[in-house]
Structure 1
Amino acid sequence: MKVRAVFGLIRLGMATLCAVALVHRLAWGLSSHTIAGENFFAYLTVQSNCAFAVLLLIAGIVAFRRDRDPRWLTIALALTLTWTITCGIAFALIVWQAGLRGIRIDVPWSDQLLHFWLPGLAVAGWTLAPGHLRVPWWVVPVAPIYPLLWGLGAMWRGPQVGWYPYYFLDLRQVELPEFLVSATVALALFALVGTAIVLISRTQLRFDPLRFRLGRREHLQR
């Protein structure tokens, strides 16, 4: 089996895992009464993982048909990977802070998969998978735009439904200076993760089957 086909299967498997985890997280939240169904898709983690699952499905199919991913797919994967990884880091910080304050936060396996395992596997795949193009540097300043728009939308929706995805978006719970600092740090973190993704896309760690075939052909001709 070709190397690209193997990574195509991995991508399809990750897309399936992501979809299963999203369904389980919704069912767990409804059964434990920790979330209302209409608020589930308001989380940035859920939105970014939905996009990630769709892109992984497309990328898996593309890997079976082409030696290289199209440019738009590489950029889209870089952006969604930036969002999912950053959400995982933020979630870990929230759980850590809650533990320090003695606040219990239940973390089902689906949350662990969505926030930690899938982003980690995606980074490994991003580093090693053949057929990626280099991600352009303009992705770094673009990556925080969607989270910024999401945050503004959550703050606009919050007073209407009486619910916020995260407490630091509710200006009734945090002072304006604390909110501004939190927002700045969060956006900077998205840019930092985006920078790491761009740098990884420019490494020479991945196995490129096209270059391997060309190099082997040149070697046999000598």
Structure 2
Amino acid sequence: MIQTLSYFTIQSNILVLIVAVTLVADPGRDGRIWRILRLDALLGIVITGLVFDLVLIDYVHPSGWQLVATIGFHYIAPWATLLGWLLFGPRPRIDRSTMAWAFLWPFAWIVYTFLRGALVGWYPYPFLDVAEIGYARSIASTAIILGVAVVLVLIFKAIDGAQARTASRP
């Protein structure tokens, strides 16, 4: 169970589920913690989809129910979440403070992943597997993904602000 919950994919899908349920209950939901969770869900799930498509797809060969889960976790959830956010918001919900705090979970996941990997010898993804590719390549892979995450958050902020301004025009 710990190993399953150690995947960024699983954590990001859980965040998407939590945020989606809270939005169904209250479409105008707001609050400091909720804004951070919403951005974490959006960022995490888009990163999940991109990393799977660009990096991991050659490493996995699912069949049966694994294939169904892979399609749901890596294709449907990421792009449906992004589309839902683009179409329905709510906005504005992304400010500089939210952007900064939204990186707490990914950084915590990275630290946890490398510490746990060093202790138990297991890493959730091949591009992080220190035993196979070494610390330099693992850290470089992590830095690239964090760079992409920063760019995505800046894009999300720009869209959030632009759509909020458009929605507020008479």
TM (normalized to structure 1)? 0.64
Q: Which residue of 2 aligns with 1:105?
A: 61
Q: Which residue of 1 aligns with 2:104?
A: 145
Deviation at 1:130, TM superposition (A): 5.6
Task: Write 1 or 2 for the structure with the bigger share of helix.
Answer: 2
Q: Secondary structure at the match of 1:114?
A: helix
Q: Which residue of 1 aligns with 2:17?
A: 53
Alpha-carbon distance between aligned partners in 2 of 1:74 and 1:104, rounded to the nearest angstrom:
33
Q: Secondary structure at the match of 2:29?
A: coil
| Structure 1 position 155 matched with structure 2 position 111 | no
Q: Which residue of 2 aligns with 1:42?
A: 6
Q: Which residue of 2 aligns with 1:71?
A: 31
TM (normalized to structure 2)? 0.81
Q: Which residue of 2 aligns with 1:127?
A: 86
Moved over 4 A (4+): 205-208
- Give unpaired runs (5+ residues) of structure 2: none
Deviation at 1:131, TM superposition (A): 4.0
Q: Is the Cα contact below 8 Å between 1:88 and 1:119 reproduced in 2? A: yes
Q: Which residue identity lines up with residue 70 of structure 1 in the other structure? A: D
Q: Is the Cα contact below 8 Å between 1:136 and 1:198 reproduced in 2? A: yes
Alpha-carbon distance between aligned partners in 1 of 2:150 and 2:48, rounded to the nearest angstrom:
13
- Give unpaired runs (5+ residues) of structure 1: 1-36, 216-222
1:104-160 alpha-carbon deviations (Å, 9 max, x no partner): 522612222222222212222212216422410333344333222212212222244
Q: CA RMSD in A?
A: 2.6
1:172-214 alpha-carbon deviations (Å, 9 max, x no partner): 2113332232121011111111112212211238995xx69xx
Q: Is the Cα contact below 8 Å between 1:82 and 1:194 reproduced in 2? A: yes
Between the two proteins, the alignment pairs up a number of residues equal to 166
Q: Which residue of 2 aligns with 1:186?
A: 145
Q: Is the Cα contact below 8 Å between 2:91 and 2:164 reproduced in 1? A: no
Q: Which residue of 2 aligns with 1:175?
A: 134
Alpha-carbon distance between aligned partners in 1 of 2:89 and 2:106, rounded to the nearest angstrom:
29
Q: Secondary structure at the match of 2:91?
A: coil
Alpha-carbon distance between aligned partners in 1 of 2:150 and 2:116, rounded to the nearest angstrom:
25
Look at both structures and tell me which one has the larger radius of gyration over its CA atoms.
1
Q: Mean alpha-carbon deviation: is it higher for 161-170 or for 39-48?
A: 161-170
Q: Secondary structure at the match of 2:61?
A: coil
Q: Which residue of 2 aligns with 1:28?
A: none
